[in-house]
Amino acid sequence: MSVAARRDEALAAIFASAKVIPVLTIERVADAVPLARALVAGGVRVLEVTLRTPVAVDAATAIIAEVPDAVVGIGTILNPDDLARTETLGARFGISPGATPDLLEAAAASHLPFAPGIATASELMTVLAHGFQLAKFFPAEQSGGIKALRALAGPFPQVRFCPTGGIGEANAPAWLAEPNVVAVGGSWLCPAPDIRAGNWAGITAMCQRTMKMLQSR
Ligand code: 3PG
């Protein structure tokens, strides 16, 4: 198996084990570990810590060190420097909302399981040319939703997706029922007001409800 295929398979295994990946925006580093523990307690182990706040790297580092049951990836990777930071801090995977040539070249030279982001056929073709066959479909609902994803499955039957953007408890099952969807991502399991208020029990309860609902299907 090629390096590219191994990388995709490793990512597909992580995503398939998760089904649902919370997209975390952590504003205070002190929230990182209790938030991760709350998610894991609710059965949600694969976490995407986005590089959207100044404390994101410290937050991810703390979760990796203190919540061994969490599988931590880094999201909002925008350039090769972000990718290098992701590797250095020991994250298990990386996700980007997009796919610039610079970033794809750096990711193709790395062993880190990585999902570039696409919303169009041309972007997907660029991603494929760099050896990636598992992509984030972003922003999923806003880019045409399930109909758009089905249309992409025609010319690109080999590609698997993790859609994110506009996905929540109500529409997650429909996305997950698509044969080319390995997992869905979204911020709905970790609302900013709950994080700010330290409502860890509420986050755990929401995760438990979502996971139960998905298991019953
Ligand atoms: C992402 O980066 O995946 C999105 O910000 C998640 O979108 P959502 O907030 O609509 O779930």
Q: Kindly report the CATH number assigned to the domain that includes residue 97.
A: 3.20.20.70
Q: Which of 27, 66, 136, 147 is catalytic?
A: 136
CA atoms of 18 and 22, how far apart (whole Å): 10
Q: How many domains would you assign to the chain?
A: 1
Q: Which of 9, 19, 27, 48 is catalytic?
A: 48
CA–centroid distance, residue 25 to ligand 1 (Å): 10
Residue with tokens 């408890």: 169
Identify each DSSP E strand in the chain by its residue range. 20-24, 46-50, 71-75, 93-95, 114-115, 117-118, 134-137, 160-163, 184-186
Q: Name the DSSP class of 133.
A: -
| Model confidence, pTM | 0.96
pLDDT band at 88 (very low <50, low <70, confident <90, very high): very high
- Structure confidence at residue 215 (pLDDT): 87
Q: Determine whether 109 is exposed, middle or buried from the number of CB atoms within 10 Å of its CB (0-12, 13-18, 19+).
A: exposed
What pLDDT, in 10s, does the model give residues 124-160?
999 999 999 999 999 999 999 999 999 999 999 999 9
178 an active-site residue?
no
- The average confidence (pLDDT) of the chain is 97
Cβ(97) to ligand 1 under 6 A?
yes
Owning domain of residue 56: 3-215
pLDDT band at 216 (very low <50, low <70, confident <90, very high): confident
Return the ligand 1 atom nearest residue 167 CA: 11
pLDDT > 90 fraction of the chain, expressed in percent and rounded: 97
Cβ(164) to ligand 1 under 6 A?
yes
The answer to whether 167 and 188 are in contact (CB under 8 A) is yes
What pLDDT, in 10s, does the model give residues 48-85?
999 999 999 999 999 999 999 999 999 999 999 999 99
What pLDDT, in 10s, does the model give residues 165-190?
999 999 999 999 999 999 999 999 99
**Lookup: tokens for 79:** 């350039």
- Structure confidence at residue 217 (pLDDT): 72
Return the ligand 1 atom nearest residue 185 CA: 3
- The mean pLDDT value for 86-98 works out to 98
136 an active-site residue?
yes
- Structure confidence at residue 1 (pLDDT): 82
